[in-house]
Amino acid sequence: MSISVAPDGTEYSFPTQEEDKKEFEILKTLSEEERKNGRKIVVVQGMGFVGSVMAAVVADAEDENGESLYFVHGNDLVSRRSYWKIPVINSGKPPVNADDPEIPEIFPRCVKDTSSSLKRK
């Protein structure tokens, strides 16, 4: 089984084809529900510095009533070099360091604390 190793040394196994298909169906269902709730679906390819922060900022956008405007899917390649970013993001942590002190606050808020979270595949 292939793995991706995070900078902190944590190893993350690649998803199997079955897990990947299951995840796709979950995301499809979630997207349909979010679209029915009036949210726009945004997909961001690449969870590096620009992509992960952009996905989090978009997922954090709210209307005047505090309702989330977008449902975001963050995607990255299943590769040894970059796959670790997906489970790190799913845990509510940014996969990158940023000078902006708000970035570490946005990820848990978008992933863990709201219904229109940054979702991944």
Q: Is 79 helix (H, G, I), strand (E, B) or coil?
A: coil
pLDDT band at 66 (very low <50, low <70, confident <90, very high): confident
Q: Which residue has the tokens 């390649």?
A: 77
What's the fold here for domain 14-120? Answer: Rossmann fold (3.40.50)
- Average pLDDT taken over every residue of the chain: 89
Higher pLDDT: 65 or 117? It is 65
pLDDT surpasses 90 at 21:
yes
pLDDT band at 119 (very low <50, low <70, confident <90, very high): very low
pLDDT band at 17 (very low <50, low <70, confident <90, very high): very high
The conformational region for residue 68 under phi > 0 = left, psi -120 to 50 = alpha, else beta, is: beta
Helices first, then strands: H and E counts in the chain: 4, 5
CA distance 113 to 100: 20
The predicted-structure confidence for 42-54, as pLDDT tens digits, reads as follows: 999 999 999 999 9
- Give residue 69's identity as a one-letter amino acid code: L
pTM of the predicted structure, to 2 decimals: 0.84
pLDDT band at 10 (very low <50, low <70, confident <90, very high): very high
